[in-house]
Structure 1
């Protein structure tokens, strides 16, 4: 599991000539890092002069910590799902019956493989929302990390989107394609716009 291996081990696997982990797992780790940065900024924005916002920062810390775990879970789910896609393509196709079974398995695996990145785009949006909540109450010494969190979430969303796209073009079931479109159309763009806006506000705040 990605969440329990060392960074060096994960990067070694990512860089190897193996199909998993790949871009989907990397996207999930972008989101996990974004959530971790949000949690860090919130923890630096507690006590003393920040005490009046304690309820908000405590809620943000709890939510961000949960998103870290959820993102790592999606990294593992993405890896497993893509392995299933690879396995389906390796099924025998010596006769009509086997070819039909193989085609069905491929389509089923592709639909399932699209789900982790769908959930990841939504999670990325949640990271940006939490980061935005912190902007006006955060410790100014770590305010740049709000922009870093937003940028990490943006990368997660755009990478997840392209992983959905590469699955969708191979899915023949029009109903499945329509369902994926309903789940995702416009969602990534909203995350990108929100992240870009937040990063810009942070830079304006820093530069005065």
Structure 2
């Protein structure tokens, strides 16, 4: 997926196959959010922005890392969901088969919830960085800050439903509680994205 063309990925996404699906799409939304912020930061350089060099350099470094992480999560999500579909195909002829199949499904569902939970963390960090960058950013590209947080919002809210759909099969209470808490971050991410987008729109329309 990392070296795949956009056209090839979208063709696979549209196909009748288990993966890639919504989870991988959520991760790529997060990757786009990070990439957009990296672009804005790279335009916020030179003498005019010298006072903000430390912040800009940090945003560049962090968003590059976030972008790479998010692409990796897209790949992990596709692999995890494939494991879920494979678990459902296990035999269930005997009591032992059924018990083994049930345990395998539970493990696979728990694993499938992991990548989208991590995507929410990436989205949260991207929105936080956008909030830091916006006040000092090159004003010619502030709409890309809004685009970044909207991509991060899509990442978080899409990842949330991909966590929630797997929760019923997660047997471990601590794991279920942790995943529920991570999914619950999506509303806060969306609210912060709203505020940043509103600030951008207010500036560009006045």
Choose the corresponding residue for 2:199, options 198, 201, 204. 201
Where does 1:1-208 land on structure 2 (aligned, <5 Å)? 2-182=1-181, 184=182, 186-208=184-206
Structure 2 gaps of 5+ residues are: none
CA contact (8 A) 2:40 2:138 kept: yes
Distance 1:171 1:123 in 2: 23
Distance 2:136 2:56 in 1: 9
| More displaced 10-residue stretch of structure 1: 127-136 or 173-182 | 173-182
Distance 2:171 2:2 in 1: 34
TM-score for the superposition, normalised by structure 2? 0.96
TM-score for the superposition, normalised by structure 1? 0.96
Structure 1 gaps of 5+ residues are: none
CA distance 1:102–1:63, shift in 2 (3 Å): same
Distance 1:179 1:33 in 2: 26
- Residue aligned with 1:69, SS: helix
- Residue aligned with 2:136, SS: coil
Distance 2:80 2:46 in 1: 43
> Displacement of 1:23 after TM fit?
0.1
Distance 1:5 1:186 in 2: 32
CA distance 1:179–1:134, shift in 2 (3 Å): closer
> Displacement of 1:131 after TM fit?
1.0
Please provide the CA RMSD for this pair: 1.1
CA distance 1:109–1:142, shift in 2 (3 Å): same
> Displacement of 1:28 after TM fit?
0.5
> Displacement of 1:172 after TM fit?
4.3
Distance 2:37 2:58 in 1: 12
C-alpha distance after superposition, 1:27-51 (max 9, x if no partner): 0000000100000000001002111
Distance 1:201 1:28 in 2: 26
